[in-house]
């Protein structure tokens, strides 16, 4: 049988040990250096972070943004499709998931309206694993809908992301990059 005094002493010891354990300073993790931290005065304040699908998708063929909306970015991959971010790269949304060809060669955003975007499919970098394209695609609503503008035999449709091939300037849908 336990005496009340013995039970009180055991309880007091347990509380004391618990108090001592809780009063110990927490073990601190050593501060790890930031990856690729620059020591230069201009770049020192920059921090590297994941930009989304670049790690998973392989070769990045084009990145485009616009001065009218600095939070808007499009990234095109050789074999991973077209991705759009509206929050400066924190979150990405695939634009070509339901398309037969996800090989992106170049992207162009109309200077007059960031909702007007042209995408040339087919990788422009000649390699043993180059993916051919199916022409030029365009949107006038920021990527909600895409229209095929032609050029199905073109592999290097928009190299540089700044021009649209002449045969793709008009389509049956009335989409006209010349008036963008």
pLDDT tens readout for residues 24-48 = 776 677 777 666 677 888 877 777 7
Within a domain: residue 11? Answer: no
Within a domain: residue 172? Answer: no
The pLDDT score that the predictor gives to residue 114 is: 95
Within a domain: residue 19? Answer: no
Cα separation of 80 and 98, whole Å? 12
What is the extent of the structural domain holding 71?
54-163
Within a domain: residue 10? Answer: no
* pLDDT above 90 as % of the chain: 31
Please, which pLDDT band fits residue 179 given cuts at 50, 70 and 90?
very low
Please, which pLDDT band fits residue 84 given cuts at 50, 70 and 90?
very high
Please, which pLDDT band fits residue 126 given cuts at 50, 70 and 90?
low
Please, which pLDDT band fits residue 58 given cuts at 50, 70 and 90?
low
Q: Which of 56-65, 94-103, 137-146, 166-175 has the lowest mean pLDDT?
A: 166-175
Within a domain: residue 158? Answer: yes
Within a domain: residue 179? Answer: no
Which residue has 């087919």 as its token pair? 122
Quick check: 80 pLDDT over 60? yes
Q: Which residue has the higher pLDDT, 112 or 168?
A: 112
Please, which pLDDT band fits residue 102 given cuts at 50, 70 and 90?
confident
Within a domain: residue 23? Answer: no
The pLDDT score that the predictor gives to residue 107 is: 94
The pLDDT score that the predictor gives to residue 66 is: 93
Domain count within the chain: 1
Question: Residue 173: CB partners within 8 Å, gap ≥ 6?
Answer: 147
Q: Which residue has the higher pLDDT, 167 or 18?
A: 18
Q: Closest Cα to residue 168, out of 125, 118, 105?
A: 118
CA dihedral angle for residue 4, residue 5, residue 10, residue 11, rounded to 10 degrees: 70
Cα 141 to chain centroid, rounded = 20
Within a domain: residue 121? Answer: yes
The pLDDT score that the predictor gives to residue 30 is: 74
For 150-177, what is each residue's pLDDT tens digit? 876 544 444 444 344 444 343 333 444 4
Residue 12's SS3 state is helix
DSSP per residue over 93-132, as a string? EES-TTSS---EEEEEE-TT-TT-EEEEES-SS--TT---
Q: Which of 10-14, 84-88, 145-149 has the lowest mean pLDDT?
A: 10-14
């Amino acid at each position: 049988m336990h005496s009340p005094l013995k039970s009180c002493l055991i309880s007091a010891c347990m509380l004391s040990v618990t108090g001592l354990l809780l009063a110990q300073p927490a073990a601190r993790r050593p501060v790890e250096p930031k990856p690729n931290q620059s020591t230069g005065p201009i770049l020192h304040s920059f921090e590297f972070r994941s930009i989304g699908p670049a790690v998973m998708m392989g070769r990045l063929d084009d990145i485009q943004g616009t001065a009218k909306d600095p939070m808007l970015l499009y990234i095109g991959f050789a074999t991973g499709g077209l991705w759009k971010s509206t929050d400066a790269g924190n979150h990405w949304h695939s634009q070509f998931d339901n398309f037969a060809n996800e090989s992106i060669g170049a992207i162009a955003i109309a200077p007059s309206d960031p909702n007007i975007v042209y995408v040339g499919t087919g990788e422009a970098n000649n390699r043993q694993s180059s993916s051919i394209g199916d022409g030029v695609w365009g949107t006038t609503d920021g990527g909600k809908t895409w229209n095929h503008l032609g050029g199905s035999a073109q592999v290097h449709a928009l190299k540089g992301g700044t021009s649209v091939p002449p045969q793709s300037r008009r389509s049956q849908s009335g989409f006209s990059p010349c008036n963008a």
